[in-house]
Amino acid sequence: MKTWHWIILAVITIASIVLQLWGPQSAHPHAWDRIPGFYALFGFGACVVIIFVSKTLGKVWLEKREDYYDE
């Protein structure tokens, strides 16, 4: 990831928050729609939770050696 990649992501995020707050609203609004950057926070949070929950489940319980069923 080069610096300009991050700049593009930042521009996209700012534009989306501007549109979220001052653009047209959904015909079926939800309680969270007005929180600035809600979906950005949700996306990042969900991503982190998925990675850590899955990996923890794998480590403590689900992951086994590849020859597990051959014994």
Partner 1 sequence: MTSETLPPAFILLLGAFVLLGVPARVRSAVFVLFAALGFGHVMRLPLGTTAVGNFAEFQLILLSVDSVNRVFGMIFSLIVLIGGIYAWHVKNRGEPVAAMLYAAGALGVTFAGDFITLLIWWEVMAIASTALIYARGTAESRGAAMRYLLVHLLGGSVLLGGVAWHYAAYGHMLIGALDPSFGGAWLILFGVALNAAIPPLHPWLPDAYPSATVTGTIFMGALTTKSAVYVLMRLFPGWEVLVWAGVIMAIYGLIYAVLANDIRRILAYSIISQVGYMVTGIGLGTALSLNGTAAHAYSHILYKALLLMGAGVVLHTTGKSKLSELGGLGKYLPLTLWLFMIGALSISGVPLFNGFISKSMIVSSAGEAHREGMMLVLFVASVGSFLHTGLRIPVFTFWGPDVGLRPSKPPVNMIIAMVVAAALCVFYGCYPSALYRFLPFEAEYHPYTIPHLVESVQLLTFTFIGFWVFRRKLQGEPLIVLETDWIYRRGLHRPAKLLLNVVNGTFGAAARGRDHVIARLVDMAQHPLRPFRPADAPRYDENEDRLPLGTGLAITVLFLVLLAVWAAQ
Binding site for partner 1 (CB under 8 A): 1, 9, 12-13, 16-17, 19-20, 23-26, 28, 30-31, 33, 37-44, 46-55, 57-58, 61-66, 68-69
Question: Contact, 17 vs 36, CB < 8 A?
Answer: yes
Element (H, E) at 66: none
End-to-end CA distance of the chain: 44
For 32, residues 6+ apart whose C-beta sits below 8 A from its C-beta are 38
Residue 67 CB, shortest distance to partner 1, in Å, is: 9
CB 4 to partner 1: min, Å? 15
Q: Smallest distance, Å, CB 3 to partner 1?
A: 14
